Amino acid sequence: MKRRLISISVGLVILFLAYTFSNVILHGDKMSFESNTEIIRSVKAQEVINQSNDIYITVNGRLESKEWLDLLSEVLGIFIKSKKYFKAGQDYKKNEVIIEIESQEFLATVKQYRSELQNLIASVLPDIKIDFNDNYKNWETYFKKFNVENNTSKMPIPLSDQEKFYIVGKGLNSLFYKVKNLEERLNKYKIKSPFNGTLTESYISEGSLISPNQKLGVLINPSLYELEVAVPSKFGDKLNIGKNVKFLSSNNESYTGKIRRINKSIDDYSQSIRLYIEFNSPKLKEGMFAEVDIPLGKVENSFSISRSLLINDSFVYYVKNNMTIGIIEVDLIFNNDEYVIVKGLENGTKIISTFIPGIYEGMKVNIINLWGI
């Protein structure tokens, strides 16, 4: 019985060894092939061509009218009907009347004082003819042209100290400047546009009683705008007044402006500097969102790549001549959220142009798309 069990055990061992040996014979080549096969990844690469690269920072803000005016009244009166409706969106030419306030009562006062000045001149003409004959013709011409319906022109200049004393003593100067003061105030009953502008706000209507210092509306220059943006203070030494700045609108139109002002103060919280950029175009609108590229200079003999390709701010992957991945150190010259400018890469170096998950040094690759800049 014991001998039979030993025989059975030996038989089982022989069968197991036979099965294992047959598997090695049948599948040995396949197992060897699988163990020696390496995965070759397909990659995209770009060939380095060092050149001069512009550096810029992208910032944004909203356009505001650079030239605007709060329309205020300096006199009391009724807003009378004008040629144009005083409503938002109304355009006015330079020196065109925007608002006219009823002024007949005040105009009568002005004419009264003009008449008094005219009468006073008439009363002194005989004395001027006798005592200051050299200047009589000028005074006579001035009197003849005097009209209470028109603004008062400048009086003749005395030709001697004696004539000057006489004119002052008679009260001509005092009355003349009182008339001019009243005429100046009369002009305030008409509010004129100081530039070609558009009314953006209207707070009164025709027939309203207007009081002194009352705000009547807002007028803007529809062609001249300013964009206020914040730039990190680390770029402060690269900012210059007069530099051109461009932005692309939502309808893909390009506009060029200039840096007009730079605030010398740094914001404590954001550590930024405020820039003020002027744009001049009738196609722009107040409140329009603008994203602009601020030029900061050039970097010679450098290369620009996507920020996502930079490893630890110092390295990039490249493809060696034996088609394996290598790592090369670079000098980081400039960076923003989108791209970096580096030095230290030789022309012709093939760097990886798209991120590859699981990439490692020594990985075998095949370049499927090689392009240069």
Three-class SS string for the chain?
A: CHHHHHHHHHHHHHHHHHHHHHHHHHHHHHHHHHHHCCCCEEEEEEECCCEEEEEEEEEEEEEEECCEEEEECCCCEEEECCCCCCCCCCEECCCCEEEEECCHHHHHHHHHHHHHHHHHHHHHHHHHHHHCHHHHHHHHHHHHHCCCCCCCCCCCCCCCHHHHHHHHHCCHHHHHHHHHHHHHHHHCCEEECCCCEEEEEECCCCCCEECCCCEEEEEECCCEEEEEEEEEHHHHHHCCCCCEEEEECCCCCEEEEEEEEEEEEECCCCCEEEEEEEEECCCCCCCCEEEEEEEEEEEEEEEEEEHHHCECCCEEEEECCCCEEEEEECEEEEECCCEEEEECCCCCCEEECCCCCCCCCCCEEEEEEEEEC
What is the per-residue pLDDT for 14? 55
Residue 334 Cα distances to 235, 237, 247, 337, 373, angstroms: 11, 14, 21, 11, 18
Strands of the sheet containing 315-319, edge to edge, are: 325-329, 315-319, 350-352, 41-47, 365-372
What is the per-residue pLDDT for 367? 86
pTM exceeding 0.75: no
Euclidean distance between CA atoms 344 and 368, whole angstroms: 25
What is the per-residue pLDDT for 29? 45
Per DSSP, 135 falls in state: G
CATH number for 42-56+300-372: choose from 3.40.1360.10, 3.40.50.1100, 2.40.420.20, 1.10.3720.10. 2.40.420.20
Residues carrying CATH 2.40.50.100, the chain: 68-102+189-220
**Residues of the chain falling short of pLDDT 70:** 1-38, 371-373
What is the per-residue pLDDT for 372? 57
What is the per-residue pLDDT for 252? 79
pLDDT tens column, 289-326: 888 888 888 889 999 888 888 888 899 999 998 889 99
Place of tokens 């020594």: 362
Euclidean distance between CA atoms 140 and 156, whole angstroms: 10
The encoded tokens of residue 185 equal 């105030």
Quote the crossing angle between the two packed helices 104-131 and 172-187, to the nearest 10°.
150
Euclidean distance between CA atoms 216 and 100, whole angstroms: 12
H helices of the chain, in order, are 2-36, 104-131, 136-145, 161-169, 172-187
Residues carrying CATH 2.40.420.20, the chain: 42-56+300-372
Euclidean distance between CA atoms 192 and 337, whole angstroms: 49
The encoded tokens of residue 126 equal 């005989």
Euclidean distance between CA atoms 281 and 288, whole angstroms: 13
The class level of CATH for 224-295 reads mainly beta
Which CATH code is given to the segment(s) 68-102+189-220? 2.40.50.100
Residues carrying CATH 2.40.30.170, the chain: 224-295
What is the per-residue pLDDT for 193? 95
Euclidean distance between CA atoms 138 and 135, whole angstroms: 6
